[in-house]
């Protein structure tokens, strides 16, 4: 429990006393409820965004087959009349049959396919961008003092694509570095 300090009289007045907690339970109870309020507020802020509600409505259109014109109007690549007809023809059994059909047959449901692609791509694309920007922010704070723009671009690409970078041969990189000029050849010799 923190040390109890008396606040100055100008803040509490002459005849009143400041509120103090008498037990550790009271102290941590107040902190606990502050944390709960913050978590609740952050979750509401995170999941009650306009973009997520539009995506939820698009998913509802796909699952129920009922067309919400206000939501579909926001996507110019979707044709309302054609989508409505495609959704009425599509049922749970038809989805399984549709997977086994030829691409020409699946082409009859092109608007449903466009709707599914929109639903599959949008959240992944925004998460990917968010991940890239947070990686760039971490790099900039870590290397802020000596980083030029071209170097930060190269380091950011290496940081974001770690799995691809892990597949590159270190020996090949070292050999290219050594063979770049005569001085390096003299200093490092051959690398094998």
- Residues 62, 43 share a domain: no
- Residues 90, 148 share a domain: yes
- Residues 173, 130 share a domain: no
- Residues 121, 76 share a domain: yes
Residue 3 included in any domain: no
- Residues 149, 70 share a domain: yes
Residue 179 structural domain: 168-192
- Residues 82, 126 share a domain: yes
* pTM of the complete model beyond 0.85: no
- Residues 131, 74 share a domain: yes
Q: What is the pLDDT along the chain (192 residues), one digit of tens a residue?
A: 667 777 777 776 666 666 677 888 888 898 899 999 999 998 888 777 777 777 778 778 777 777 888 877 887 788 888 888 777 776 556 666 667 777 777 777 777 777 777 766 665 555 556 666 677 677 667 666 666 777 777 877 888 788 888 898 888 888 988 999 999 888 888 776
- Residues 68, 135 share a domain: yes
- Residues 111, 174 share a domain: no
Count how many domains the chain has. 3
Length of the chain in terms of residues written: 192
């Amino acid at each position: 429990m923190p040390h109890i300090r008396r606040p100055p009289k100008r803040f509490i007045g002459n005849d009143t006393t400041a509120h103090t907690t008498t037990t550790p339970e009271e102290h941590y109870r107040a902190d606990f409820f502050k944390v709960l309020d913050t978590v609740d507020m952050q979750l509401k802020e995170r999941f009650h965004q306009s973009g997520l509600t539009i995506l939820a409505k698009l998913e509802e259109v796909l699952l129920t087959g009922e067309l919400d014109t206000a939501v579909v109007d926001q996507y110019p690549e979707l044709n309302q009349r054609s989508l409505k007809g495609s959704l009425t023809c599509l049922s749970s059994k038809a989805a399984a049959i549709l997977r086994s059909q030829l691409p020409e047959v699946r082409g009859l449901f092109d608007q449903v396919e466009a709707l599914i692609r929109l639903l599959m791509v949008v959240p992944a694309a925004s998460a990917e961008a968010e991940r890239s920007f947070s990686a760039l922010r971490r790099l900039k704070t870590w290397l802020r003092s000596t980083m030029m723009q071209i170097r930060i671009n190269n380091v950011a690409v290496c940081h974001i694509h770690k799995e691809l970078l892990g597949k590159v041969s270190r020996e090949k990189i070292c050999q290219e570095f050594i063979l770049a000029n005569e001085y390096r050849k003299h200093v490092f010799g051959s690398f094998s």
